[in-house]
Amino acid sequence: MNDCCTSSASPFPARPSFAVRPGVTFPDWSVVTSPTVQNALSAMTGSNHVFNRWSGYDPVADRVRVALLQLYAEDGRAPTIAALAERAGSSERAILPVLEELRRRDLLVLDGERIMGAYPFTEHDTGHRVMLGRTAVNAMCAVDALGIGAMTRRDVAITSRCRHCGAPIRIVTRDRGTTLANVEPMTAVMWQSIRYEGACAANSLCATTVFFCSDEHLSVWRHQRSSDEPGFRLSIQEGLEAGRALFGPSLAGLIAAERSGDGRAHGSGLMPLDAASGPSVDRHARANGRNGNAYDLVVIGAGSAGFSAAITAADQGSQVALIGSGTIGGTCVNIGCLPSKTLIRAAETLHNARVAARFAGISAEAELTDWRATVRQKDDLVSQMRQRKYINILPAHNGIVYREGAARLTEVGVEVDGTTIRADKIIIATGARPTVPAIPGIETIPYLTSTTALDLAELPRSLLVIGGGYVGAELAQIFARAGVKVTLVCRSRLLPEAEPEIGAALTEYFGDEGIAVISGVSYRAIQRTGTGVALTIVRDGETTRIDADQVLIATGRTPNVEGLGLIERGIALSQKGGIAVDDRMRTTKAGIYAAGDVTGRDQFVYMAAYGAKLAARNALNGDSLRYDNSAMPAIVFCDPQVASVGLTEIAARTAGHAVRVSTISLDQVPRALAARNTRGLIKLVADSSSGRLLGAHILAPEGADSIQTAALAIRQGLTVDDLAETIFPYLTTVEGLKLAALSFGKDVAKLSCCAG
């Protein structure tokens, strides 16, 4: 088996170099520090095909190629011949022979006169998806994906898959695509092929320059291929280095062209990408900034909280700089709420067909035929919603300037990729990421997180879920209903923040669906096995090993506080690791606020948006508004759904209340009887002296749609008698709140329909 990366002496020419344009050569050897990368690039670029690609490469071809790459990066797809001609300052007739020349040099892929790709971009779904700011593009191969950020001088988020097992791989860069910010799983590696055939890299090199979730899976894949498969094993860091060297020169050294009245580029160069595309901060700053790069408010983070703060400020006439790093829209729309809920519905559809026989005379069958298609449909929805609810709404708010890059606090505002942005006030809304527990051996296995699990194209036979919170519960049920054997383990109990009765009932219902819930454990170690992973746990003094094909980590979320310069600016963190804020969203540094998951509290998207709105209003209008979560609804979208608002019974007693409690099972709710689905309960907690409703907790199908009635009751200080006297529509789940309120003084089993 050819394994070039293990050779101590390189058999390849040392650092071949080719001129691209004045002062720019290919590859860019100045960024190469790894001997393995040097050997790999020497092997790739020392061949005749590379010499033929660059020999005689002239300014005319360069102009067209640069225009092509710029347009590709801006739009996420190949430009038309007309658009390309306009950008290059040429005619369509003159462009065509240049395109043919670029095709001959294997710098371009054509289908007739239709452009199908221009390295590193392609029209084909290769499995290497790159979010280039707000634009999604397909990369030809793994190293191309890693090189796009450096080429365009922008941070990227890469989604790909292990070539062997299909496990999702996510890579995020910072510092304009030159540094790794995050890699999931940490064990991921890359295979850099050097096999070039048929004068087409897309069909040879690119076909086998791929990612793997681990060295083990790379090894298995290589053993399954021919013994002479040439290439190099690279770490993701080395892959990024190779990508920078290969694609950094593509748009480097360009001279900003003089622009004519018709907007076409002229002269020896073209407009640099970051001056010609997207919502460039420099272009908008001149139009919107108060004084150069000075603003009323800077918002760091372009997720739900960041957008809420920015829009709130812009709506009252303020000038706002919104700083995004990674995929615009943040967690909820991209990798959290939206994608998980659509997969929950898909899995629920399967389940409902299987239990259709609860109605006499009805039978149904459901079959999962193509999980990959289900995931693609999810991705399409995510893309549509990101476009509709984030990207498309920016132009509607003239006061918002959007910039992409990593922000760091300074004495006068923030610095983004070397540019200082001055601001009177700052809101930090950088969100959170999945927490990885400190289990011995965790760093050696290719685990899934809530992010990567939603991208799985192939379902494992068995899955171990570590964590019994809302994320673990939701994902465990999705995969179980999709046919995966699921075991869920947790340190305390399932849904530890919910009422104990709800956690116990849900554990029973999960068992009915084949989900094994093992609670009250401690984690001893986790390791690879020949078929997957094995977790060793201790429960009641006994040591047990649990084996599964794959493991999913769902043990909470860690606030994104790194790299912001918090300590230097005197901003304190809470015990949970989030930014400490008071009830007015103020940090310990005057003029700086924080909202959303980065604070480590109330990690729900609607609370992030609410807190960010308060932060913006307080920052701009005086610190008069207080954060109030006393009537905050919390939902778990398992089935039955868990919906809660206010205090649990234990929390109410701990707070000093003397309480009364009412609990009814769903077989007392006519809606559940009619649906022949009485799984669940409703529990109300009230102050014993005043009768004021303190908390409401629902476990019921579609229970989430009923909790807002209780939230309004708590917010308005209503009593359980007020709730009992309210008219509710019959045969609805929400009527259960009225019945639970009535049960404080009556036996609802002895009431007629709608009586009370």
Q: What is the mean pLDDT of residues 440-451?
A: 92
Q: What is the mean pLDDT of residues 247-270?
A: 51
- The answer to whether residue 265 sits within a structural domain is no
Q: What is the mean pLDDT of residues 119-145?
A: 89
Closest to 484 in 3D by CA, of 447, 458, 517, 521: 458
Closest to 611 in 3D by CA, of 590, 591, 632: 632
pLDDT tops 50 at residue 554:
yes
pLDDT tens-digit profile of 723-748?
999 999 999 999 999 999 999 999 99
pLDDT tops 80 at residue 444:
yes
Q: Which is more confidently placed, 262 or 168?
A: 168
Based on the domain organization, do 74 and 219 belong to the same domain?
yes
pLDDT tens-digit profile of 362-381?
999 889 999 999 999 999 99
Instruction: Give the position of tokens 């030159």.
Output: 178
d(CA 44, CA 731): 70
Q: Using alpha carbons only, what angle is made at residue 169 by residues 165 and 175, rounded to the nearest 5 degrees? A: 160
pLDDT at residue number 729: 95
- The answer to whether residue 16 sits within a structural domain is no
pLDDT at residue number 276: 32
Q: What is the mean pLDDT of residues 642-649?
A: 98
Q: What is the mean pLDDT of residues 502-520?
A: 98
pLDDT tens-digit profile of 332-349?
999 999 999 999 999 999
pLDDT tops 80 at residue 253:
no
Percent of the chain with pLDDT over 90: 67
pLDDT at residue number 204: 60
- The answer to whether residue 208 sits within a structural domain is yes
**Which of these three, 599, 627, 655, is where a domain ends?**
627
**Which of these three, 583, 607, 627, is where a domain ends?**
627
* Radius of gyration (C-alpha) of the chain in whole angstroms: 29
CATH number at residue 76: 3.30.450.410
415: left (phi over 0), alpha (psi -120 to 50) or beta: beta
Based on the domain organization, do 113 and 232 belong to the same domain?
yes
Based on the domain organization, do 209 and 246 belong to the same domain?
yes
Ranges of H-type helices in 187-235? 215-223
pLDDT at residue number 103: 86
Number of domains in the chain: 4
Q: Which is more confidently placed, 279 or 10?
A: 10
Provide the domain limits for residue 545: 442-555
pLDDT at residue number 282: 36
- The answer to whether residue 561 sits within a structural domain is no
d(CA 292, CA 285): 6
> Which of 62-76, 175-189, 375-389, 649-663 has the highest mean predicted lDDT (pLDDT)?
649-663
Confidence (pTM): 0.74
pLDDT at residue number 629: 96
pLDDT at residue number 10: 44
pLDDT tops 80 at residue 73:
yes
d(CA 667, CA 125): 50
Based on the domain organization, do 337 and 402 belong to the same domain?
yes
CATH number at residue 648: 3.30.390.30
Task: Tell me the residue type at 557.
Answer: R
- The answer to whether residue 518 sits within a structural domain is yes
| Low-confidence winner among 8-17, 624-633, 640-649, 713-722 (lowest mean pLDDT) | 8-17
pLDDT at residue number 720: 98
Based on the domain organization, do 308 and 407 belong to the same domain?
yes
- The answer to whether residue 268 sits within a structural domain is no
Q: Which residues contact 455 (CB under 8 A, 6 or more apart)?
A: 159, 161, 168, 170, 375
Based on the domain organization, do 247 and 296 belong to the same domain?
no
d(CA 36, CA 39): 5
Based on the domain organization, do 201 and 87 belong to the same domain?
yes
pLDDT at residue number 236: 96
Q: What is the mean pLDDT of residues 106-115?
A: 85
pLDDT tops 60 at residue 315:
yes
pLDDT tops 80 at residue 633:
yes
598: left (phi over 0), alpha (psi -120 to 50) or beta: alpha
Q: What is the mean pLDDT of residues 697-710?
A: 97
Q: Which is more confidently placed, 552 or 406?
A: 552
pLDDT at residue number 508: 98
pLDDT tens-digit profile of 472-486?
999 999 999 999 999
**Which of these three, 555, 590, 613, is where a domain ends?**
555
Based on the domain organization, do 576 and 656 belong to the same domain?
no
- Residue 708 φ then ψ, to 5°: -65, -30
CATH number at residue 344: 3.50.50.60
pLDDT tens-digit profile of 200-209?
665 666 778 9
pLDDT at residue number 418: 85
| Low-confidence winner among 15-19, 75-79, 172-176, 707-711 (lowest mean pLDDT) | 15-19
Report how far apart, in Å, the C-alpha atoms of 546 and of each of 525, 533, 555 are: 11, 8, 18
Based on the domain organization, do 182 and 127 belong to the same domain?
yes
d(CA 107, CA 85): 17
- The answer to whether residue 145 sits within a structural domain is yes
d(CA 74, CA 264): 16
Based on the domain organization, do 493 and 537 belong to the same domain?
yes
pLDDT tops 80 at residue 67:
yes
Based on the domain organization, do 293 and 381 belong to the same domain?
yes
| Low-confidence winner among 272-286, 340-354, 515-529 (lowest mean pLDDT) | 272-286
Q: Average per-residue pLDDT in the chain?
A: 88
Based on the domain organization, do 545 and 428 belong to the same domain?
no
pLDDT at residue number 8: 36
pLDDT at residue number 60: 85
- The answer to whether residue 545 sits within a structural domain is yes
